[in-house]
Amino acid sequence: MGKALEGVRILDMTHVQSGPTGTQILAWLGADVIKVERPGKGDATRGQLRDIPEVDSLYFTMLNHNKRSVTLNPKIEAGKKIFTRLIEECDVLAENFAPGAIDRMGFPWEKIQEINPRIIYASVKGFGPGPYEDCKVYENIAQCTGGAASTTGEIDGFPMVTGAQIGDSGTGIHLVAGILAALLHREKSGKGQRVVCAMQDAVLNLCRVKLRDQQRLAHGPLTEFPQYPNGTFGDAVPRAGNASGGGQPGWIVKCKGWETDPDAYAYVITQAASFAELAKVIGHEDWLEDPEWNTPKARLGKLDTMFDEIEKWTMTKDKLEVMNILNPLNVPCGPILSMKEIAEEPSLRATGTIVEVDHPERGKYLTVGNPIKLSASPSDVVRSPLLGEHTEEVLKTVLGLDDDEIKEAREQGAI
Ligand code: CAO
């Protein structure tokens, strides 16, 4: 069985999170990802949020599996020559530096194309063209400017960012889609192209249902929101607490043990098709004959009362019991799983979604494996590279440099 992207070589200039998560997916899918890092320093995340002194952080190791690391400074003459050779030998150049950084290294897109007309040049930036195009952007800025923060949080509370890294990892995934499409297009055209994903755009794409709601507001209140029917709506989509955002009402309810366990909750969705089963199991058979309750429309105005009644029942069961009782009744629900529970979940270990990896300096650690499962091209998770671990190997085997050329580059501080 071959890897899906075997034979594809990525010149990976990405750093921090958004770019590296994208190239990590390409590496899992079988591409040869050559991560180029600044000599002596490397990706800043190697040293961020360290749990063990002098050892690559989990931040770095968990975003850079299956890659090779080369140290190279393309700003130094000998480094420029090597960088040019790498552009010649690679199919994709990926980067997420501040706008203009690759140009300032002396490699604008026109020059990159001239060196290798087949190369795909893929970038993550904070914003697309416009007033903010030169800004540096991190995760939460993208969440705030892409519509996630204004629409997330308690209905009476302040804007809230989410723990899911939709700005960084979310954009990385979009970048992967662009790179794969450009690779496929190159099969027909013979030419590479520029791929750019702005973090604001990617977050907005993930928040598209909220732009849907913005337009619905013009035609009346958002009936599935907790604010309906007693609260007021302004002229922008408000925060909706834990309301489902889809056509079927849902909410987070307390389960047995909630007084002491911060994760003793479950999400319950009251989809119309199985409402009768749900009403029966919580002891509200009376709702089935009552026109105040027995249609989705009738229930919309009193979702808070409905979830209070459901909660009276869920508080008598632990969250897994709730899952085990409701799922067979076709009532969609999910326990709130803590990271501890997820890390220990045997089924996630069995599918390779949670993997234990061994690292020469830190020892064993857990990571998230490839969530994209291909039937003929399974992914292995290989530990992240040490800084510059593969410099000589890549310069010799990929670029064909000899010992003298490598020595010269080293003397100049280019590698
Ligand atoms: N050799 C020599 N210099 C190198 C190098 C190498 N191998 N790799 C990078 N550098 C240099 C760059 O050339 C740049 O120098 P100049 O400013 O002189 O051109 C410099 O390192 C730093 O680049 P940066 O400005 O991108 O880094 P920063 O820490 O100031 O900003 C970030 C980080 C993430 C805010 C910025 O890169 C950014 O906005 N990126 C685009 C959006 C993005 O991806 N954000 C996600 C961040 S978290 O995933």
The H or E element that residue 366 is part of is strand 363-368
What's the pLDDT tens digit per position in 377-414?
A: 999 999 999 999 999 999 999 999 999 999 999 999 99
Q: Residue 156: which residues within 8 A CB-CB, separation 6 or more?
A: none
Instruction: For the chain, give the percent of residues with pLDDT over 90.
Output: 96
Rounded to whole angstroms, how far apart are CA atoms 21 and 45?
A: 13
* Contact by Cβ (8 Å): 182, 193: yes
Q: How far is the CA of 97 from the centre of ligand 1 (A)?
A: 4
List the catalytic residue out of 168, 201, 263, 404.
168
The answer to whether 9 and 398 have CB atoms below 8 angstroms apart is: yes
Q: Note whether 5 and 29 are within 8 A (CB).
A: yes
Task: Please list, residue by residue across 352-389, b when 16 or more beta carbons sit within 10 angstroms of its beta carbon and e when fewer do.
Answer: bbbbebebeebeebebbbbeeeeeebebebebbbebbb
CB atoms within 10 A of CB 80: 17
83 touches ligand 1 (CB under 6 Å): no
Residue whose CB lies within 8 A of the most ligand 1 atoms, among 37, 96, 97, for a mutation test: 97
What would the 3-class secondary structure string for 269-334 be? ECCHHHHHHHHHHCCCCHHHHCCCCCCHHHHHCCHHHHHHHHHHHHCCCCHHHHHHHHHHHCCCEE
Instruction: Give the closest residue to 5 by CA, choosing from 350, 386, 389, 372.
Output: 372
- Residue 253, beta-bridge partner list: 266
How far, in Å, is the centroid of ligand 1 from the Cα of 98?
5
**Residue 74 in contact with residue 159, Cβ under 8 Å?**
no
Residue 229: its pLDDT value, please? 87
pLDDT digits (tens, 9 = 90+) for 98-154: 999 999 999 999 999 999 999 999 999 999 999 999 999 999 999 999 999 999 999
Instruction: Spell out the residues 6+ positions from residue 380 whose beta carbon is closer than 8 angstroms to its own.
Output: 66
Cα separation of 102 and 372, whole Å?
A: 31
What are the structure tokens assigned to 296, written together? 């989705």
**Could you tell me the distance, in angstroms and rounded to a whole number, from the CA of residue 44 to the centre of ligand 1?**
9
Nearest atom in ligand 1 to the alpha carbon of residue 100 is 19
Question: Is the bond into 229 cis (omega within 30 degrees of 0)?
Answer: yes
Say how far apart CA 403 and CA 328 lie, in whole Å. Answer: 67
Query: Whole-model pTM above 0.85?
Result: yes
Q: What is the pLDDT of residue 155?
A: 92
**Average pLDDT across the chain, whole number:** 97
Element (H, E) at 77: helix 77-89
The pair of structure tokens assigned to 285 is: 């058979």
Per-residue confidence (pLDDT) for residue 95, from 0 to 100 = 98
Please tell me the total number of residues recorded for the chain in this structure: 415
Question: For ligand 1, atom 17, which residue shows the shortest CA distance?
Answer: 101
Annotated catalytic residue 103: no
Ligand 1 touching residue 136 (CB < 6 A):
yes
DSSP at 368: E
Task: Please work out whether the CB of residue 98 comes within 6 Å of at least one atom of ligand 1.
Answer: yes
pLDDT tens digits, one per residue of 3-29: 999 999 999 999 999 999 999 999 999
**Cβ 18 under 6 angstroms from ligand 1:** yes
What is the distance in A from the centroid of ligand 1 to the CA of 95?
Answer: 9
For the chain of 415 residues, list the mean pLDDT of each consecutive stretch of 10.
93 98 98 98 97 97 98 97 98 97 97 98 98 97 98 96 98 98 98 98 98 96 89 93 90 98 98 96 97 94 95 98 97 98 98 97 97 95 98 98 95 95
What are the backbone angles phi and psi of residue 219, rounded to the nearest 5°? -110, 15
- Is there an atom of ligand 1 within 6 Å of 135 CB? no
Q: How far is the CA of 20 from the centre of ligand 1 (A)?
A: 13
Picking from 192, 172, 174, the residue whose alpha carbon sits closest to that of residue 24 is: 172
